[in-house]
A and B are shown apart, each in its own frame.
Chain A
Amino acid sequence: MTRWGFDIVSKSRSATGTYLRVTRFLALAISLMVLCFLAFGCDLVDLPIEVEPAPSRLVVSSVMGPEQSLLITVSRSFSALSATDVDSLSSDFINRLLIDNAGVFLRYGETTDTLAHLFDIPGLYGGFFSELEPYQLLDLTVHDSLTGEIVTATTELLPPVALEAVSLSEEIDAQGDTTTVLVYRFADPPGENFYALHAYNLPASSVLDSLFIDDEENPVFANDEDLVFYETLITDQAFTDAVIADTVRLPFVSVNDTIAVSLAHISEGYFRFLDARRRTGGLVSSLANEPVNHPTNVIGGLGFFTAHQPRAVVVEKR
């Protein structure tokens, strides 16, 4: 290393004066440089990133209602990029996404039925299929007559599983704080099973009303987002018995509240889909977690075709 030195011992007096001058000069120089650092630094022009928008694809979702009614919604995916024409989820925009000229066909066994376009609601199709048997395979075909696109999906009609016992109790932790606990139990059918459990605040409008509420200003999100305060996904892999019994903590609920609890026996595929939703749902997750492309069973499209039948019970206040 190149070294430049001087003998401070032989020049101690002059060196002391030099040190003082150097020190003063350095103090001034450093102050100026810090000011320059703060004044000039970090003023940069951002660099654009070219991202191709995802192609628009058919989206299928489904709901099994009472008496084995099946509701199918058919819509389109859309770009997530600001460069496109998407700037708000207006009613007009959503209506453009919903497909009301689709042919929706359900095949089960040797039978193929066409689902009807319901209630003049764009994108909503449905029918009653009381003859369906548990574990029967359902093949769905959706044909967009405008674009000619065809998507297909297959699912299994899983039998409903009802909660056998549900209650609220109190748990006192080590610090003396009290937390409300939901205690539940249900019978687990043979085989590998997956469940989704939801807890709802009551009173609330009916679920379907809230879903399809006609609000011109904000038609989709008009319903009370606080309606559901708890959601969990359950797999029977963690339970060895034929009965699943567990508790969940509900920190924002009092034992004096009345709540509804629903249990849905779902397919593994839909379980993975909901798990992906759960993983990306919160603010922390969206910031810290890796991106998740949601699994789908819709060949050629997006969404999920499922035929689960939730069963709900009301837990009255104490």
Chain B
Amino acid sequence: MKMNGIVILERLKNALALILVLMAAPSTVAAQYTLSGYIYDSLDREALPGATVQVEGTGRGTTSNAYGFYSLTVAGPVIPLRISFVGFAPIRRQVDLRETDRIDFFLEVEVLEAEDVVVTADRYELQEEVLSTRMGVVALKPSELSAIPTIGGEADLIKVARLLPGVTAGGEGGTGMFVRGGSIDQNLVVLDEAPVYNIGHLFGFFSVFNTDAVKDVEVIKGGFPARHGGRLSSIVDVRMDEGSAERLKAEGGVGILTSRLTVDGPLIDDRMSFMVAARRTYIDKVFGLFGAELPYYFYDLNGKLNYRLTKNDRLYLSTYFGNDVLALNEPSVSDSTTSDDGLAGDLDFGFKLGNFTTTLRWNHLYPGNRLFSNVTLHQTRFKYDIWGRFLDNELLIRSRVRDVGIKGDWEYYLTPENTLYFGGQAIFHTFRPNVLRTTGEINDVLASRPGERLGASEWAVYAGQNLALGSALRVNYGLRLTATNSAGAWYVAPEPRLALRLRLGANASLKASYSRMRQYLHRVSSSSVALPTDLWYPVTDKVKPQNSHQVAAGFTRAFPWLGASLSVEGYYKTIDRIIEYREGANLLLNDTFEEELLSGSGRSRGVEVLLRRRTGRWTGWLGYALSKTDRHFDGLNGGRRFPAKYDRRHTLSLVSMVELTPRVTFSAVWTYMSGAWFTAQNGQFLMPNASLTTVDLVPVYTDRNAVSLAPSHRLDISFIIRDVLGGEWHIGAYNFYNRASPFRVAIDHNGVAYQYVQQGLFGFIPSITYNFDLNL
């Protein structure tokens, strides 16, 4: 639907106002006292999101938000409170609300034995999982990320996220994610609210996120609240560590592939803290020692400042900068691709690609202690340069994506049973793909071009309410209105969201949700796998916004005596206007790529089971998903439905971390995935060509994605040994029993016939990493 821009903005504004009025109407509660504050880790005074504040004996309570803030409005005036968080000793306190309306709580890591830090079961945390309306959401902590074995001993949050049911991988090694039948470009990964376009180093073998600099990660697969949007299939919300406000410390690690160092601590007592993290590979240096040349490396830099302006105001400034560099020689071409500087200098071959994000956030608590806001300014830049020289020919391919955005989120804690949330967002995208500069004879084939500069803006306003309707039923509903302006046209859509929870006793609940999502960007790849060099484009007249509808229903059960929870979710998702490439499409340096794209639909349905234990000596999870995903395009496969490439029927992951002794932890991950699908050439015929000068061998293929690849399974193990200095040795093995996990389909072609095999990339690979944590 195309509309005038001003009309659209007016409508968005009016709709938001109306929604808020309607939502506030039922909030006539006899509450008189409001208590609010932040919940911190006492050791570093870093905020603890997701901590529980309960009025003991009433079942009423709230949880801290992403910034550790809570607000609790009760009849009072004297209430017994219990504040708890997984891994920390709970605090019990009698609070007289006539004396104070503001308390910050500092939770201490729970110590059960003299030298033994054990995370204890907390039934309140489990109950919150049961009582919340949220579904399809999994939170991951750095302690889990670092304990799970990965290749080269390099902790990788994206690879850990793929161990969750409903999140599947592409080929071995890559960081591509496919969530509930979605495509790889339907995942929005944000780092402190800034979108990250390229989430992998070394073409996806390593995540760009240095887990030392990560505070927590949330993966949302369904039941999206109205505050989230922008992509159809998932939101991966990564938050950077804020830096300790209590002590100056350094932590890091030395591994076979990378080394890391993070320093954080207070800058101004009680006011400001900082965190700086750096990571770099040194495989290039190691090869250099043996006289071999492998001029590849990647590096990351993370930084964050956390400043408390006033009692009610906080500022956070964070940034990420990282690059992959393969440089026999870097280009000396000027940045102006339209200049006549040429490609002077000593060029050979190389590439450089990377992200740069910056976020400035302002938390504000309004008078009354019930209304909390977070306003974010963010920018993201993703770019790549590929250069090469052969004889007198020189080539530079360049692409740029830049986002500048503003986002505001408000949470209004009316009562523990009634929370309003609302906000808005604007992102301004600039794309400059396919910049090409050539000199020499290659210019006859690939002529230089400045690359088209494309602009688009995305807008959204939303409002929602999380409301208890009696003791058993809770509803979280909302509406997100989104719009984009691209190529002079406006596209607008409402995105209703609904989540219901029906409590079944103290430890069980039924949940259901509906989400409509809309996506205004799409990713165009020149190959069938996702590469960092893939290009992002806004919607156009020919490539319309993608939409999805997802309904889900599930059962959640807590087992407090075990410290475990079980969730079983079924979902059905449809996607329309999904894009796929026309058969034989050539997208390499193709500015008219729209002609090569087809628009179609997809659907996915499945059941996911997650049995998770987060407390005790033995933690981990069992995740299983049964799913089926297919696609339909009029112009593909004769108009018949076909399986999505990564439609994996069964996925199973067993993640286990066992504390064998106070100094030794053993962790193991076993994964099983049904095979992906591919299109094979299984026939051929001879036919005179059109010029009548020869005879062509014309291929005959199976139906699209009609051939199932072999299932893959793999065991990774790791021992974590704590030494007397307080450091940790991570000694592990990737692919313990050395079975190929398919990385690609290899084709053996003897000139006439083909033989297909799946090749794995990594066999048994031992690793060792030393991690340290020092007070400075």
One of B329-337, B452-460, B536-544, B747-755 at the interface: B747-755
Task: Choose from B692, B696, B761 the contact partner of A208 (Cβ within 8 Å).
Answer: B692
Residues of A near B409 (CB, < 8 A) are: none
What CA separation (Å) do A279 and B766 show in the bound complex?
A: 44
A75/B685 in contact, CB under 8 A: yes
Asked if A160 is at the interface (CB within 8 A of a chain B CB), the reply is: no
Q: Is the pair A79, B739 in contact by a Cβ cutoff of 8 Å?
A: no
Closest chain-B Cβ to A5's Cβ sits at a distance in Å of 5
Other-chain residue from A26, A41, A53, A211 in contact with B692 (beta carbon distance below 8 A): A211
> Is A231 engaged at the interface, CB distance under 8 Å to the other chain?
yes
* Chain A 40-68: CB-based contact to B (< 8 A → 1; otherwise 0): 11111111111111111101010100000
C-alpha spacing A61/B686, complex, angstroms:
9
> Does B615 count as interface, using CB distance less than 8 angstroms?
no
A276 at the interface (CB under 8 A from B): yes
A29 touches B768 (CB 8 A): yes
The reply on A182 being an interface residue by CB < 8 A is: no
Does B695 make an interface contact (CB < 8 A)? yes
Beta-carbon contacts of B693-725 to A below 8 Å, as 1s and 0s? Answer: 111111111101001011000000000001001
Q: Tell me which of B584, B688, B776 contacts A285 (CB under 8 A).
A: B584
- Across the interface, do A6 and B774 meet the contact criterion of CB distance under 8 Å? yes
List the A side residues contacting B255 at CB < 8 Å.
Answer: 30
Q: Which of B528, B754, B763 contacts A44 (CB 8 A)?
A: B763
> Total number of A-B contacts with CB less than 8 angstroms?
280
Q: Which of A229-252 contact B (CB under 8 A)?
A: 231, 249, 251
Interface flag for B593 (CB, 8 Å): no
Contact size range, B = 35 or more
Interchain CB contact under 8 A, B775 and A303: no
| Known contacts A6-B774, A82-B754; A54/B43 CB under 8 A | no
Of the candidates A44, A51, A200, A221, the one whose C-beta lies within 8 Å of that of B695 is: A221
Q: Give chain A residues whose Cβ lies under 8 Å from the Cβ of B722.
A: 4
Pick the contact of A51: B682, B759, B765 (CB < 8 A).
Answer: B682
From 3 to 46 in chain B, residues with beta carbon under 8 angstroms from any chain A beta carbon are 43
Q: Name A258-272 residues within 8 Å CB distance of B.
A: 262, 264
The CA-CA distance from A38 to B727 in the complex, in Å, is: 27
Chain A residues, Cβ within 8 Å of B526: 288
A293 touching B707, Cβ below 8 Å: no
Contact between B441 and A177 (Cβ–Cβ < 8 Å)?
Answer: yes
Within 8 A of B (CB), among A183-241: 196, 198, 200, 207-208, 210-211, 220-221, 223-225, 227-228, 231
Docked CA distance A48–B753 (Å): 16
Q: Which residues of B contact A276 (CB under 8 A)?
A: 583-584
Task: Give per-residue flags for B95-119: 1 if the beta carbon is below 8 A from chain A beta carbons, else 0.
Answer: 0000000000000010000000100
B691 close to A (CB within 8 Å): yes
Residue of A nearest to B44 (CB): A3
CB distance from A9 to the nearest CB of B (A): 8
Of A2, A30, A53, A207, the residue contacting B254 (CB under 8 A) is A30
B397 → chain A closest CB, angstroms:
14
On chain B, the residues within 8 Å of A292 by CB distance are 583-584, 699, 701
The answer to whether the Cβ of B78 comes within 8 Å of any Cβ in the partner chain is no
Whether A146 is near chain B, meaning CB under 8 Å from some CB there, is no
Take A73-B688, A231-B690 as given contacts and tell me if A34 and B764 are in contact as well, using a CB distance cutoff of 8 Å: no
Instruction: Report the bound CA distance from A36 to B764 in whole Å.
Output: 10
A165 CB-CB contact with B under 8 Å:
no
| Interchain CB contact under 8 A, B691 and A4 | no
Most buried by B among A53, A225, A294, A303: A294
Cβ B693 vs Cβ A228 within 8 A: yes
B700 touches A77 (CB 8 A): yes
A211 touches B695 (CB 8 A): yes
Task: Find out whether the CB atom of B683 lies under 8 angstroms from the CB atom of A40.
Answer: no
Complex Cα distance A273/B682, Å?
Answer: 19
Shortest distance between the CB of B383 and any CB in chain A (Å):
22
Q: Is B444 part of the binding interface, using a Cβ–Cβ cutoff of 8 Å? A: yes
A94 on the interface (CB 8 Å rule)?
yes
State in angstroms the CA–CA spacing of A48 and B686 once bound together.
28
- Alpha-carbon gap, A183 to B550, bound state (A): 56
B contact residues around A262 at 8 Å (CB) = 691
A8 near B693: Cβ-Cβ < 8 Å: no
The reply on B581 being an interface residue by CB < 8 A is: yes
CB distance from B682 to the nearest CB of A (A): 4
B249 pairs with A5, CB closer than 8 A? yes
Q: Which of A84-92, A102-110, A130-138 contacts B (4 or more CB under 8 A)?
A: A84-92
Closest chain-B Cβ to A206's Cβ sits at a distance in Å of: 10
Residue pair A78, B710 in contact (C-beta under 8 Å):
no
Contacting residue for B683 out of A18, A49, A78, A94, CB 8 A = A78
Which residues of chain A are near B312, meaning CB under 8 Å?
Answer: none
B751, A44: Cβ atoms under 8 Å? Answer: no
Known: A43-B738, A51-B756, A81-B753. A179 touches B444 (CB 8 A): yes
Give the complex CA separation of A7 and B774 in angstroms.
Answer: 7
CB of A284 within 8 A of CB of B43, answer no
With A44-B739, A46-B740 as contacts: A83 and B755 at CB distance below 8 Å: yes
Please state if A79 and B756 are interface contacts (CB–CB under 8 Å): no
Q: Which residue of A lies closest to B152 (CB)?
A: A37
A interface with B by C-beta (< 8 Å): 1-9, 18, 22, 26, 29-31, 33-34, 36-37, 40-57, 59, 61, 63, 73, 75-84, 86-89, 94, 97, 173, 175, 177, 179, 196, 198, 200, 207-208, 210-211, 220-221, 223-225, 227-228, 231, 249, 251, 262, 264, 274-277, 279-280, 284-285, 288-294, 302-304
Q: Which 6 A-B pairs have the closest CB atoms?
A: A54-B683, A279-B584, A4-B726, A77-B685, A292-B584, A82-B755
11 other contacts beyond A79-B684, A293-B583, with CB at 8 A cut-off?
A34-B256, A48-B756, A61-B687, A73-B687, A79-B682, A82-B748, A83-B755, A175-B443, A224-B693, A251-B444, A288-B587
Subset of 5 A-B contacts with CB under 8 Å = A40-B765, A207-B693, A220-B694, A231-B691, A288-B527
